[in-house]
A and B are shown apart, each in its own frame.
Chain A
Amino acid sequence: MKPIRRQRLILIILMIAGIGTAVGFALKSFNDNLMYFFSTTDVDNGKAPKDALFRLGGMVVKGTVERPGDGLTVRFKLTDFSKEVTVEYTGILPDLFREGQGIVANGKLDARGVFVAEEVLAKHDENYMPPEVKASLKQELKNQ
């Protein structure tokens, strides 16, 4: 390799390393803002903002979805498998909403500590399988 070319190569590597470090530090310092949602443990620890909108993510706890009244209001519990938070929502739920499903809700905490959601989004997991496979997986779990 000719010296001039090696020099250019080193220059390019240094440039990428420099930018990479800078961006790395920037992302690290903005880490909290880049989190799309707070977990239920964050809410329990008081890390989530009071009197302001924020997003709360977690799994819908099985058997907690109830509809008080005859309207569109739904109440359910969210968990991250360590702490639970009760969520209330009035409106139409997305197709993937169900018990045991991961969701992200946008709203704020009220005085009772209940999270009043203005918007509920379903978080899809990364698993794809035919219905028969899912059924046999369930069967296996039951047999264990």
Chain B
Amino acid sequence: MKFIPDPIGRFCHRMASPPHFYALSGKLLPWLTGIFLILLACGLYGGLYLAPPDYQQGDSYRIIYIHVPSAWMSLFIYIVMAITGAIGLIWRIKLAEIVAISSASVGASFTFIALVTGSLWGKPMWGTWWVWDARLTSELILLFLYLGVIGLYNAIDDKRTASKAVAILALVGVVNIPIIHYSVEWWNTLHQGPTVTKMDKPSIHVSMLIPLLLMAIAFKFYYVIAMLQRARLELLQRERTAAWVKKLVSEPSNSSS
């Protein structure tokens, strides 16, 4: 049974080779950082300065330019972590395991930011810092899942075994992702329903939507940058006895970092 066409398979094999990944990611990082900074500047300028105030909330709605992209990233990174974890489990690809664990702390940070910014907004708008409704509770569980993944990984000394354990935990937790997304539709919640991701046209004015989408893309770039940096470090630690790492250390002038 042919699952993956040959050229893609060859590309993946090359990417999965640690020295190649290390060199390529080192070359990509400055470019990614540049694009991230441009997107972030445009998104923040558009969101905090150009976008008009909301008809009801005035200027305090502007927290969505941090809160909403963070919440999206918290779900997106978890899915990436679960998929790369599964790839690591099935094909035993070392690089997939490294990407999975390197994503965990970035995802945990975004989840934390989403919870804190939501809470800061909730006090003046809803009248409370926190309620135990379905959306807020499931997002908090997501934070605990991330922390569980990080803790479990650090509790096991053999990193290949740790990666398998972490992948299984991440896959078990994946049921929480649709629950978070649909919680506002399945149950009565204090948290409002989806604005941008619903099927008909988004219920946000286009002048407010564009900076929001810019911020969302900027956060995606930030994730890739942070994840690659962690992955490179993790790779060097795991491969510290390999020939290519020794070569890299003995000839620092040729290294791409």
Residues of A within 8 A of B (CB): 1, 5-6, 8-9, 12, 15-16, 19-20, 23, 27, 31, 34-37, 39, 57, 93-96, 104, 119-134
B interface residues, tally (CB under 8 Å): 43
Task: Check A121/B190 contact, CB under 8 A, given A128-B54, A130-B55, A133-B205.
Answer: yes
The reply to whether A129 and B205 form a contact with Cβ atoms under 8 Å apart is: yes
Task: Check A16/B171 contact, CB under 8 A, given A5-B90, A121-B131, A126-B194.
Answer: yes
Closest CB in chain A relative to B87 CB, distance in Å: 10
Report which of B57, B131, B171, B192 forms a contact with A15, defined as CB distance below 8 A: B171
Give bound CA distance, A124 to B131, whole Å.
14
Task: Check A35/B187 contact, CB under 8 A, given A123-B192, A124-B125, A131-B55.
Answer: yes
Give bound CA distance, A103 to B135, whole Å.
17
Main secondary structure on B side of the interface with A: loop
Give bound CA distance, A39 to B56, whole Å.
24
The reply to whether B91 and A5 form a contact with Cβ atoms under 8 Å apart is: yes
Q: Could you list some 10 contacts between A and B, CB below 8 A? A: A12-B90, A15-B168, A16-B174, A36-B134, A121-B127, A124-B56, A125-B193, A129-B54, A130-B52, A130-B208
Main secondary structure on A side of the interface with B: mixed
| Known contacts A95-B127, A127-B195; 8 further A-B pairs (Cβ under 8 A) | A9-B86, A15-B171, A20-B175, A36-B132, A93-B127, A121-B131, A126-B194, A128-B64
Task: Check A134/B55 contact, CB under 8 A, given A94-B125, A94-B126, A95-B125.
Answer: yes
The reply to whether A131 and B52 form a contact with Cβ atoms under 8 Å apart is: yes
- B183, closest chain A residue (CB): A34
Does B124 make an interface contact (CB < 8 A)? yes
Closest CB in chain A relative to B189 CB, distance in Å: 5
Does B203 make an interface contact (CB < 8 A)? yes
Does B207 make an interface contact (CB < 8 A)? yes
Report which of A8, A35, A122, A127 forms a contact with B126, defined as CB distance below 8 A: A122
The reply to whether A104 and B190 form a contact with Cβ atoms under 8 Å apart is: yes
Closest CB in chain A relative to B82 CB, distance in Å: 9
Give bound CA distance, A125 to B190, whole Å.
10
Give bound CA distance, A126 to B57, whole Å.
12
Give bound CA distance, A96 to B122, whole Å.
11
The reply to whether B3 and A1 form a contact with Cβ atoms under 8 Å apart is: yes
- A36, closest chain B residue (CB): B133
- B90, closest chain A residue (CB): A8
